[in-house]
Structure 1
Amino acid sequence: MAGGGSAIRGSRVGAGPMGEAERGDAAPRQRVVYFCAHQHESVITFAVEAQIPESWDCPRCGLPASQDSDNPPPPPKIEPYKTHLAYVKERRSDKEAADILDEAIQTLRDKRKRGEIVF
């Protein structure tokens, strides 16, 4: 193939970004330091006009971090997994549970006597 290829004219293979002269100047920035309960120090860069958040998740451990190095936020309290029975026990006392069970057993016995349930 002579002369006409599919090469892109004006740039070479592997050419990187053109540089600030081609892209324009970078926006002014500010660096903000956050501290977590594990004493990790995270430096986050924001645009000068950006609203700075009070807290930030630590990139190293995931705990919440704040700008106060002497008083970082505590780790969140993790609730253990609760079974369905645990939730039921929170809502009903043992007496209420016994009453409900007695009522269900009586209903089952009545249905058996009438022949509605055969087992």
Structure 2
Amino acid sequence: MATGNSAIRGTRVGAGPARWADHAEPAPRQHVSYWCANGHEARPLFSAGAAAPDTWDCPRCGLPAGRDRDNPPERPRTEPYKTHLAYVKERRSDSDGEAILAEALARLRGERA
């Protein structure tokens, strides 16, 4: 078998037709501008018939971006990590804690006696 007479020589797998513009017309598209709180502009492409979303994630900083340049969405508020003790302090007052401690100490002292 001769290897020099290949009909697809010089192309790669997955390549489209050599003259794509001659065979099909691309779908109509539109650019939509979004701005984040850092002033970055993102311009993703959408189909002309599709409704563009109100917000888009900024590809540069990851903040949410909106369509209004003068009023971009606010930065998302992130809660700091809370320890187990912080959650307990939210549920119990100092007097509740003292009562629970006194009860536990009384139980321990009763077991030793």
Smaller-chain TM-score range?
0.7 to 0.9
Distance 1:81-1:8 versus aligned 2 partners, 3 A rule: farther
SS at the partner of 1:49? coil
SS at the partner of 2:44? strand
Identity, % of aligned pairs? 49
**Paired residue for 1:57?**
57
In 2, Cα distance between the equivalents of 1:97 and 1:79? 26
Structure 2 stretches lacking a partner, 5+ long? none
Please tell me the residue identity of whatever aligns with 1:12. Answer: R
In 2, Cα distance between the equivalents of 1:99 and 1:67? 56
In 1, Cα distance between the equivalents of 2:43 and 2:51? 16
Q: Normalization by structure 1: what TM-score?
A: 0.80
SS at the partner of 2:101? helix
Distance 1:66-1:8 versus aligned 2 partners, 3 A rule: farther
Shift of 1:17: 2.9
Q: Normalization by structure 2: what TM-score?
A: 0.84
Q: Is 1:10 aligned to 2:13, yes or no?
A: no
Please tell me the residue identity of whatever aligns with 1:10. Answer: A
Shift of 1:42: 0.7
Q: Is 1:103 aligned to 2:103, yes or no?
A: yes
Number of residue-to-residue matches in the alignment? 109
